[in-house]
Structure formats: structure tokens, C-alpha cells
Amino acid sequence: MPTLDINNQKINYIIRGKPELPPLVLVHGIFTDIMGYKGLITELTEKYRVYALDLPGHRASSKLTSKTNLSTLLDDFVLKLNINKPTILGHSAGAVLAVKYAAINPNIKELILLNPAGIKHYSEISLLFKLFKNAYINKKSSSRLKSRSKLDKLIIKKNIERNILNIEFWKQFFKLNKTDQSKDLQNIKCKTKIIWGNRDRLYSTDNLVEYSKNIKNHEIRFIEAGHAWPRKNPNLIKKHLWNK
């Protein structure tokens, strides 16, 4: 896979979809990576040329260090690849970075947020417990989802184990979780679509209320799914993204 040098850090990325299609930049959530969103990327390539990156500390990208600036990472990524007027799609913690980009960049067509994090400020202990529980405790699932869930857990475990002793990773992750996004949300001018799986056990609907209260031009769609639906049920994106 190709890589970019951003502030002396190697950022792994992929490009999928026909060159003539409109560009979409996908930002993954914490502890997962491009491989966890392969199904979603495949679905998105029907309508978009998809650019997806591994955030620092995840999979093939460089370790997250004190020199990492997550707030400007998307700006640098879009600029270096010369992506013009992209749609930005962020899931979970990736939605926080998507919001930061949209708040200061007029060069954006649309913002899509899938079960976004970052408004309701959970304690570090509570959030860590939920993340580790999702990764290490087996849950019953249908046979259709069993293999996908197994791969998802494997990806999350690898990324947790890669960062478990990296103090800087945890510092920046907790800082991201506790960022007051209200001003950023109020500065978003582009059309925004929020798709929320209403069986989310990681983040509460308090997040959704704050997002909808602060973003002027937005639309909300609900689906019967959990927090990880973009990875485990990626086909759901068609109904709620293709249908305007």
C-alpha cells in the first residue's frame, strides 16, 4: 500500500473507485484501521472514489508521538493528495477529526458522521472498559456476522496491543475524547448527514443531541444497529446514503 510523509510520519492509505467519481475521504475510529472498513469501502466505491488512511498508531502507519498533530492530519492528507472538494466521512472517534476539518475548510462538499464520538465526555475508565469489552469479550452473533465480527475483533486487538504501552497515544486519545466541539460544530457550513445506529452501547444519544443542536444544516437518519455497524453491516450505508 502507498504511504505519505506527513510531519515526518508515515501515513498508510489506499485509493479505491473510478477516477471520474466524486472524492470521499474515510476516517476510521479508534483501534481499527483500513482493513476493518473493507466492506464499507467496497460499498462506497459504487458512488465515490474513496481515499482511506490509517491514523497514526494504527496498522501500517507510524507510531503516534508527541509530534503528531491529529487536528491538522486531514488537512495535510487532503492537500498532499490534491483532493478537490471531498466528502468527508468519519466514524466514531474519526468523526471528531472529520468535524475539525469541516469547521475550517470551505473546500468540502458534504460531511457524513456515523455514530460520532466526542461530545458526551466519558471518564477514561468507563470508556476504556467499554472499548476493551468490545474487543475481548465474545458476544453471540448470527452466522452471517460471525466471521466479520471475528475479523473485527482481531483488528482491534492488534491495534490495542500496538499502543498499550504508548503513553502519548493515550494522552492524545483522551484529549480527543474530552474536546469541546461545540464551536467547531457551529462553524460547519456544508451539508451534514448523521447516521446513528440506535443500539450503540459505546456512546449515548447525548452525543447525537449535541451534534444536532450545534450543526445548522444537518439531517439525521436512524438505523437498527450497534456502534460498529459501518464495519459489521456496511451494506446499510446504501439505504441511508444513496437515498437523498
Q: Where are the domains of the chain?
A: 3-242
Least confidently predicted of 96-110, 140-154, 219-233: 140-154
Helix (H) or strand (E) holding 24: strand 23-27
Task: Please report, for residues 112, 138, 161, 162, 210, the alpha-carbon distance to residue 202 in angstroms, rounded to integers and kept in the order given.
Answer: 19, 16, 20, 22, 16
Per-residue pLDDT tens for 167-220? 999 888 877 777 778 889 999 999 999 999 999 988 888 888 889 899 999 999
- The phi and psi torsions of 198 (rounded to 5 degrees) equal -80, 10
Residue 53: predicted pLDDT: 97
Share of the chain above pLDDT 90, in %: 59
What's the rounded mean pLDDT across residues 130-145?
56
Question: What's the half-sphere exposure (Cβ side, CA atoms, 13 Å) at 170?
Answer: 14
- Answer whether 113's CB lies under 8 Å from 95's CB: yes
Let me know how long the chain is: 244
Residue 125: predicted pLDDT: 61
What's the rounded mean pLDDT across residues 47-66?
94
Helix (H, G, I), strand (E, B) or coil at 228: coil
Question: Given the DSSP bridges, would you call strands 3-6 and 9-16 parallel, antiparallel or unpaired?
Answer: antiparallel
CATH of 3-242, one of 3.40.50.720, 3.40.50.1820, 3.20.20.370, 3.40.630.30: 3.40.50.1820
Average pLDDT, the chain: 87
CA–CA separation, 13 vs 32, rounded Å? 14
User: How crowded is residue 210: how many other Cβ atoms within 10 Å of its Cβ?
Assistant: 18
